[in-house]
């Protein structure tokens, strides 16, 4: 028995392939459960390790769920939706085609820029280059470590002493590449823009920026599986936990799974993942300086505020809502991109154990916002690289609006 198990293990480890996963003829369906029973069965489907990949998680009645279906599973999937009377709409015809069109310039010709997506090593090299270029303003910071032994690296941007701090976290979900690209673009603007409005926010806040807070996962999306979301910690059949369900505030309370095969697996315990645990430690160590916490995800075009719980609103709910409303208006101005705003619970779905809720509640950060960047599902996580710059520009408009409001509100207080 023991011997067979060992043999099996040996076989498994020798046949592990490093080839990139392909998604030919994989489709994405948007299904809309309108009965509690349908939500429950969708959960069971998600937990079944069936080869389906949930692009969004079932949570409640009337919240749509985007599901990527492999071609061989299509008949079963169609039967499932038919039997359950689930309305379903095909939103992506061929995921591989999206992947093939994601990077119109092929792979990475330049060292770094914003017309392509870049692997972790190039992002980190670019951060290093900024430290070198602006030694009196930019310094290297380490926010934590990963299961595979990488560092969660970032930069601090500080033009003068005594500024209030902004903490920026993106890429916590590995496949949300647009967030890494957008945040590095914003960082570049802080360092190079001549626009007085940008100069104001650049120089009158201290910025703690971590473009990729799930480096193992991000690397894995570049080398092996473009659709990976979670960390890469070990598991028997399914690896990793959802790093946005693993934080110590109402952990495993709602919209999180205890099944390791689920995309929203909350981990074996609070802060089971070294990524979230170490990043939380770092954030705690500088919390007294932090006034604003910004988190970046994709996709859906939402600007969210805490919380992901039905029974709690932030202490300054009205203030955050007003700031949010102006921010989405500022975002829309440039290209007309339509965003909704509101609490996580109200505009997306119940979800607890996320980083922003933790930052708001545990660190008591007054101003906390979380974006779901472009688009609304036409490309989903695989946003073509020619949308990086427009996305980053409109997102910076929205960040700028928030920070100008924060400055005005804080000025009133003094
Ligand atoms: O499910 C999530 O973690 C986020 N959506 S995503 O498609 N990017 O995975 C939204 C969750 C809301 N945020 C928090 N719970 N903090
Ligand atoms: Zn996300």
Q: How far is the CA of 251 from the centre of ligand 1 (A)?
A: 14
Q: pLDDT at position 108, please?
A: 61
Nearest residue (by CA) to ligand 1, atom 4, is: 297
Q: In the chain, which stretches have pLDDT less than 70?
A: 1-17, 107-109
C-alpha span between 291 and 254 (Å, rounded)? 27
What DSSP character marks residue 164? Answer: P
Residue in this structure with the two tokens 């005005």, named with its chain if needed: 408
Q: Helix-strand-coil percent breakdown of the chain, rounded to 5?
A: 40, 15, 40
221, 241, 351: residue to mutate for ligand 1 pocket, most atoms within 8 A of CB:
351
Check pocket membership of 173 for ligand 1, CB cut-off 6 A.
yes
Nearest residue (by CA) to ligand 1, atom 16, is: 354
Look at residues 379, 358, 382 and name the one whose alpha carbon lies nearest to residue 368: 358
Which residues have C-beta within 8 Å of that of residue 317, sequence separation ≥ 6? 305, 343
Residue 372 annotated as catalytic: yes
For 352-394, the pLDDT digits (tens) are 999 999 999 999 999 999 999 999 999 999 999 999 999 999 9
Nearest residue (by CA) to ligand 1, atom 14, is: 354
Point out the ligand nearest to the CA of residue 304: 1
Query: What end-to-end distance do the CA atoms of the chain give, in Å?
Result: 72
Check pocket membership of 301 for ligand 1, CB cut-off 6 A.
no
Q: Residues with Cβ within 5 Å of ion ligand 2?
A: 173, 297
For 214-268, the pLDDT digits (tens) are 999 999 999 999 999 999 999 998 999 999 999 999 999 999 999 999 999 999 9
Check pocket membership of 150 for ligand 1, CB cut-off 6 A.
no
Look at residues 123, 350, 148 and name the one whose alpha carbon lies nearest to residue 231: 148
C-alpha span between 403 and 367 (Å, rounded)? 9
173, 247, 294, 360: residue to mutate for ligand 1 pocket, most atoms within 8 A of CB:
173
Q: pLDDT at position 10, please?
A: 47
Q: Which residues share a beta bridge with 167? A: 208, 293
Query: CB–CB of 273/241 below 8 Å?
Result: yes
Lookup: tokens for 339: 């965003």
Rg, C-alpha atoms of the chain: 21
H or E, element range at 341: strand 340-343
C-alpha span between 288 and 230 (Å, rounded)? 29
Q: What is the DSSP string of 189-254?
A: HHHH---HHHHHHHHHSEEEEES-S-HHHHHHHHHT-TT--S-----SSS----TTS-SSSSTTSS
Q: pLDDT at position 405, please?
A: 98
C-alpha span between 127 and 211 (Å, rounded)? 10
Query: Per the residue annotation, which of 176, 219, 372, 394 is the catalytic one?
Result: 372
Check pocket membership of 98 for ligand 1, CB cut-off 6 A.
no
Ordered structural domains, the chain, with CATH: 24-98 (3.30.70.340), 120-413 (3.40.630.10)
CB atoms inside a 10 Å sphere around CB 249: 22
Check pocket membership of 263 for ligand 1, CB cut-off 6 A.
no
Q: pLDDT at position 14, please?
A: 45
Q: pLDDT at position 184, please?
A: 98
Check pocket membership of 370 for ligand 1, CB cut-off 6 A.
yes
């Amino acid at each position: 028995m023991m011997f067979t198990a060992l043999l099996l293990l040996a076989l498994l480890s020798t046949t592990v392939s490093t080839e990139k996963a392909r998604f030919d003829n994989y489709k994405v369906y948007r299904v809309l459960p309108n009965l509690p029973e349908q939500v429950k069965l969708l959960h069971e489907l998600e937990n079944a390790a069936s080869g389906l990949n949930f692009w969004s998680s079932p949570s409640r009645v009337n919240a749509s769920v985007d599901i990527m279906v492999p071609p061989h599973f299509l008949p079963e999937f169609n039967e499932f939706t038919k039997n359950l009377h689930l309305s379903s709409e095909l939103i992506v015809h061929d995921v591989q085609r999206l992947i093939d069109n994601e990077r119109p310039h092929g792979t990475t010709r330049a060292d770094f820029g914003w017309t392509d997506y870049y692997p972790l090593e190039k992002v980190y090299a670019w951060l290093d280059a900024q430290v070198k270029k602006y030694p009196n303003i930019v310094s290297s910071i380490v926010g934590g470590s990963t299961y595979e032994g990488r560092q969660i690296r970032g930069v601090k941007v500080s033009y003068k002493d005594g500024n209030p701090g902004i903490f920026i976290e993106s890429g916590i979900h590995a496949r949300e590449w647009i967030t890494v690209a957008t945040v590095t673009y914003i960082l570049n603007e802080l360092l190079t823009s001549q626009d007085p409005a940008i100069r104001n926010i650049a120089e009158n806040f201290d910025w703690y920026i971590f473009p990729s807070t799930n480096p193992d996962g991000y690397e894995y999306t570049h080398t092996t599986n473009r659709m990976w979301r979670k960390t890469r910690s070990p598991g028997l059949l399914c690896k990793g936990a959802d790093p946005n369900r693993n934080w110590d505030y109402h952990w495993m309370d709602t919209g999180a799974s205890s099944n390791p095969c689920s995309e929203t697996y909350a981990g074996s315990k609070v802060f089971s993942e070294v990524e979230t645990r170490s990043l939380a430690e770092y954030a705690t160590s500088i919390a007294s300086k932090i006034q604003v916490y910004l988190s970046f995800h994709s996709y859906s075009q939402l600007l969210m505020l805490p919380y992901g719980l039905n029974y709690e609103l932030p202490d300054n709910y009205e203030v955050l809502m007003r700031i949010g409303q102006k921010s989405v208006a500022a975002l829309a101005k440039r290209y007309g991109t339509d965003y909704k705003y509101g609490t996580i619970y109200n505009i997306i779905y119940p979800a607890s154990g996320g980083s922003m809720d933790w930052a708001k509640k545990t660190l008591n950060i007054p101003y906390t916002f979380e974006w779901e960047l472009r688009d609304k599902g036409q490309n989903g996580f695989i946003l073509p690289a020619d949308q990086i710059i427009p996305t980053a520009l409109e997102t910076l408009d929205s960040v700028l609006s928030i920070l100008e409001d924060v400055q005005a509100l804080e000025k009133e207080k003094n």
